[in-house]
A and B are shown apart, each in its own frame.
Chain A
């Protein structure tokens, strides 16, 4: 197991290097400048700013400098936010994204798993069809439709919850609900199909033959195998929830990483885009490793020895 972890972690380095290189050069290919402004700055000011941030040097030198700084763990300064480093910005906005993403995911897990299990146990019943129809709806309605709809109902008609911003628990509800809809749907469908497969397996028949109670069969034996697809899904899902929530963060004015990401891309804040890409890639790789380890525990047939 330890060997596997070390091997996978070492394997990360070339992958990340490729990601960094592609992102670095792609970004510079895009027209524009970090110092573009509706009212252009005087030429000498733009030149001075480029010099300050080392952007006046040839691109390959900039690349080498970036890698050198990166090796020291320094993601560089933001060109948009004067005096801020990318490291600072990630730490500033990560907790918000974590709170929002995890809340949405935990909620999606609870609801999605319940719907999936019930559907699989009552396969082809009206309840099954109804739940799967709701799940289909969840996948089909994008967050930029669901979000404003929830705002109209809960904030602008009933005046129960704030329509946007970040602060206390009340601000969390609508964005988390919006974000979780798609995940509820996915998890419900994954659980249902996983469970259906397992419920037909021989070891479940054996369990039944032993005369075990149905709840024990479902919760202890079937679920363990049935949720493996859900666990595999968790890695990419959590990563996406961390940084891919751009739309929801914008609609609800949530100060998370997604918001920072889109602003940085729009204003050609090179180091911030680079830093966030690198951060998200790392999280994704680590999450996938974590998922593989968890599956090993859940499914006795899988061995990493």
Chain B
């Protein structure tokens, strides 16, 4: 509470002085020509660890992916998998097995070759309950993954084996046509067993680490900076332009904007700009906007009355004007949502769910036995303490009152208290959001496939689970997407989630930074990033004339 107040007051002061700060120039703040290939990046938070099996965070992922090359890597624009350690691959038996052919010119920084055995060892470590990998869930797609994680089988039973030093075979739990899209994720990294066995948890210290990626870590000062330099022994070093990268763990959003304005950072993570600043900054040429892979929604607790009646959920959903929330209230370019899966997955359309229909909502609520809100209990909307969450909750509270004549109370809670409440299903309505882990609708839809800790509404439907499992086994991409659309429709029909909006990608980027594309994951593989040392503010002026 205190922290929020402090941040709010800081914001107010800065907002008050914004007109003076944001000048009429086409760009925001100080921009000078950069003469070297050095990047200064605000990475939002201090990494908990840079061991791929010890973290689930985005700031950590940004560093891990620069240090460790996986089977495949993200295309910087489309995010589709590109060959990395694996030169080629093929699915076998309707994608129940995958075979990867590894390159022979990839080496660890201690000159050991990168082989299939490094993957086998690493994935077995990742699924071992002793390691307690936060992202172990992604390894459950590999055969026996879940059983090993639950301690029912030894890690050696994992469906991965080295056919020879440079051929890797992965056997899946069920046929998984989209497995290849998951392989750029850092939880699927190979690891240097000899270094980890020698140093234990300290293997990630800059003085101990052995890695195989485009960059090496040379300095790690907690809460201050992490410095990466180009790895000259990297298999694709000839194509890596950037020489050095500074990662700053700046968690305070106004501070991020200040550092950008003074020219101390070149860019930042999406979401690092305080919302009240965005209106003014959107006019600048160095403001980047795009679509992000996150959906904001409200979870209805279907284990509680009256939300166990889908008609009630649908009525509540139809009474909310989402476009008014995104455009008039928040105004940072988010897209109103009627479905759960954000747009942008190749071949997967945006599914149409309940649209804004006040009359329909009234009718539906009356059908459920609450005509004009009579007899409807007072419900509570829970959210984590954040000004924009409150604004949205207030708007929805008002809409429900006006359209359906029902009373909702608002309750904000500190983040930890709130997530604990959500996980134990102790709420009527709770704010929720989900960011996908791989470029496939499954990363959203499987939330509701089982009674897992992220299934906050507690909505479980056997037919839904069956439909999703079937879709995931379909090797034909187009046919599979059609099946997934039906799965999503089934979920939306259930009414347990009320999609509100798809997040907009929103950050600032200096004009001389190249190879840094606005993509769905806000992931920017450093090997494609470079500094245009020829960029000069004068050239821009000339261009304008």
Q: Does A297 contact B (CB under 8 A)?
A: no
Cβ-closest 8 pairs across A and B? A32-B416, A83-B201, A255-B223, A40-B453, A48-B132, A163-B258, A82-B49, A255-B224
**Which residues on the B side are within 8 Å of A33 (C-beta)?**
416, 420
Q: Does B417 contact A (CB under 8 A)?
A: yes
**Which residues on the A side are within 8 Å of B137 (C-beta)?**
41-42, 45
Would A37 and B56 be within 8 Å (CB), given that A165-B264, A262-B3, A266-B415 are in contact? yes
Q: Report the contact-size class of chain B (Cβ under 8 Å from the partner).
A: 35 or more
Shortest Cβ distance from B250 into A: residue: A253
Q: Does A63 contact B (CB under 8 A)?
A: no
Which segment of B7-15, B473-481, B488-496, B501-509 sits at the interface?
A: B7-15
Q: Does B55 contact A (CB under 8 A)?
A: yes
Partner of B417, one of A30, A43, A89: A30
Would A45 and B416 be within 8 Å (CB), given that A163-B261, A164-B259 are in contact? no
Partner of A266, one of B30, B416, B434: B416
Q: Does B421 contact A (CB under 8 A)?
A: yes
Would A32 and B419 be within 8 Å (CB), given that A42-B136, A42-B137, A144-B9 are in contact? yes
A83 near B132 with CB under 8 A, answer no
A255 near B222 with CB under 8 A, answer yes
Q: Does A224 contact B (CB under 8 A)?
A: no
Cβ contacts A62-80/B at 8 Å (1 or 0 each): 0000000000000000001
**Which residues on the B side are within 8 Å of A43 (C-beta)?**
452-453
**Which residues on the A side are within 8 Å of B262 (C-beta)?**
155-156, 159, 162-163
A83 near B49 with CB under 8 A, answer yes
Chain A positions 14-60 with a Cβ under 8 Å from a chain B Cβ: 30-33, 35-46, 48-49, 52
Chain A positions 130-164 with a Cβ under 8 Å from a chain B Cβ: 142, 144-145, 147-149, 151-152, 155-157, 159, 162-164
B222 near A92 with CB under 8 A, answer yes
A148 near B416 with CB under 8 A, answer no
What separation, in Å, do the CA atoms of A80 and B416 have in the docked complex? 14
| Min CB–CB distance A151 → chain B (angstroms) | 6
Shortest Cβ distance from B260 into A: residue: A163
Q: Does B290 contact A (CB under 8 A)?
A: no
What separation, in Å, do the CA atoms of A263 and B415 have in the docked complex? 12
Shortest Cβ distance from B261 into A: residue: A156
- Known contacts A45-B134, A81-B48, A165-B264; 11 additional CB pairs below 8 A are A31-B421, A36-B420, A37-B419, A44-B149, A80-B48, A81-B46, A92-B222, A163-B262, A167-B224, A250-B252, A255-B224
B56 near A247 with CB under 8 A, answer no
B49 near A152 with CB under 8 A, answer no
**Which residues on the B side are within 8 Å of A266 (C-beta)?**
3, 415-416
Shortest Cβ distance from A42 into B: residue: B137
Cβ contacts B140-167/A at 8 Å (1 or 0 each): 1000000001110000000000000000
What separation, in Å, do the CA atoms of A219 and B104 have in the docked complex? 79
B48 near A45 with CB under 8 A, answer no
| Min CB–CB distance A160 → chain B (angstroms) | 10
What separation, in Å, do the CA atoms of A164 and B134 have in the docked complex? 32
Shortest Cβ distance from A149 into B: residue: B13
Q: Does A233 contact B (CB under 8 A)?
A: no
- Among A33, A41, A80, A149, the most chain B Cβ lie within 10 Å of the Cβ of A41
Shortest Cβ distance from B3 into A: residue: A262
What separation, in Å, do the CA atoms of A226 and B151 have in the docked complex? 70
**Which residues on the A side are within 8 Å of B29 (C-beta)?**
156
Q: Does A298 contact B (CB under 8 A)?
A: no
**Which residues on the A side are within 8 Å of B9 (C-beta)?**
142, 144-145
Partner of A36, one of B6, B21, B419, B433: B419
**Which residues on the A side are within 8 Å of B56 (C-beta)?**
37, 39, 41
